[in-house]
Amino acid sequence: MVTYSAITKVKDRKRAEGLGVAFEKLNPAPMGVGVFELEDGSSEWEVGAYFDDEPDEVSILILENAFEATGIVISEIPETDWVSKVKRELSPVEAGRFFVFGDHDAEKLPQDRVGLLIEASMAFGTGHHGTTKGCLLALDSLISKNKRLDNVIDIGCGTAVLAMAVGKVSSSKIIASDVDQVAVEVALANLKANKLQNRIDCLEAMGFENELIKSNAPFDLIFANILKPPLIDLAPSIRNYLKSGGHAIVSGILDVQASEIIEVYHQNNLKVLDRIDIGEWVTLTFI
């Protein structure tokens, strides 16, 4: 079955969100619409819609002009078995003592590594992205230095790979949270696959706004692998919920954004202990 995509870029959030709403009102209606800020420092936004039937070119041209979009490109998307594709193309990832793999690569787990199984159909957050790998390497460094990890929280946990990494090497009390209920369901499935479902509390929450989170604070280690705007918003809370002598590992930061994040966190009495650069992505450890 062939499906269709219509993708473009616009200059600001207001236009992007407006175009997203306009896409949803098209006939035929799209199967889904995505609106994302580009992470290249351009301040531009990408808007995409996906259709079962080819969208009307005249309607698309009207939207392109109305929202000053940079050419809405309509493309055919051939049917793809994405799970099989992921299994073929996502090789295991090594990050210090950690080895992140799909169930199709279970036989490749070295005996001297800590295995983290991520289901192939849940590929986001497998460690292939520089932010996830950077966080695992930062955690590996803290473990090597015998830092306390008695009480840990992973904010914006995604697949829960970071929370699971802690769970595999310690007896820590661990919370994994995400604002997206789908991400929470993915995390719960991965916890079960790694036999950690009884070790890690996984829940839907916005930042630290949850009674279980507040009642378990302060934390020895806080992960926040998200994006620049929420990282800035969370800076005061990370300071308030971090135990004295504790560490915060934050990522989702482009190299051009790192200095601003460092300055904001410095203003909140947090200083950089370590920095890991992987491609264009930066992971920072604060104390």
* Residues 99/102/103/108 CA torsion (nearest 10 deg): -40
Average pLDDT over residues 152-156: 97
Q: Which range, 37-41, 59-63, 89-93, 184-188, has the best average confidence (pLDDT)?
A: 59-63
Do residues 30 and 49 make contact, with C-beta atoms less than 8 angstroms apart?
A: yes
- Helices 161-169 & 130-144, crossing angle to 10 degrees? 20
- Structure confidence at residue 165 (pLDDT): 98
- Structure confidence at residue 212 (pLDDT): 97
pTM comes to 0.72
- Give residue 44's pLDDT band: very low, low, confident or very high (50, 70, 90): confident
- Give residue 41's pLDDT band: very low, low, confident or very high (50, 70, 90): low
What percentage of the chain reaches a pLDDT higher than 70?
A: 90
- Structure confidence at residue 79 (pLDDT): 66
- Give residue 167's pLDDT band: very low, low, confident or very high (50, 70, 90): very high
Question: What's the full length of the chain, in residues?
Answer: 287
Do residues 200 and 176 make contact, with C-beta atoms less than 8 angstroms apart?
A: yes
- Structure confidence at residue 40 (pLDDT): 63
- Structure confidence at residue 90 (pLDDT): 59
Greater pLDDT, 16 or 130: 16
Element (H, E) at 30: none
Over the stretch 121-147, which tens digit does the pLDDT of each residue have? 544 455 556 899 999 999 999 999 999
Over the stretch 52-101, which tens digit does the pLDDT of each residue have? 899 999 999 999 999 999 889 998 877 655 445 545 445 788 999 999 99
- Give residue 39's pLDDT band: very low, low, confident or very high (50, 70, 90): low
> Domain extents for the chain?
3-77, 127-286
Average pLDDT over residues 180-203: 92
Cα–Cα distance, 116 to 119 (Å, whole number): 10
Q: What amino acid is encoded at 225 in this protein?
A: N
Calculate the alpha carbon distances from 161 to 14, 35, 171, 236 in Å.
34, 25, 16, 25
Do residues 242 and 215 make contact, with C-beta atoms less than 8 angstroms apart?
A: no
Closest CA to 101 of 85, 114, 83, 112: 114
- Structure confidence at residue 76 (pLDDT): 86
One-character DSSP codes across 212-252:
HHHHH-SEEEEEEES-HHHHHHHHHHHHHHEEEEEEEEEEE
Average pLDDT over residues 8-23: 91
Fold of 3-77: Alpha-Beta Plaits (3.30.70)
- Structure confidence at residue 180 (pLDDT): 84
Neighbouring CB atoms inside 10 A of 117's CB total 19
Fold of 127-286: Rossmann fold (3.40.50)
Tell me the Ramachandran region of residue 279: left when phi exceeds 0, alpha when psi lies from -120 to 50, beta otherwise. Answer: left
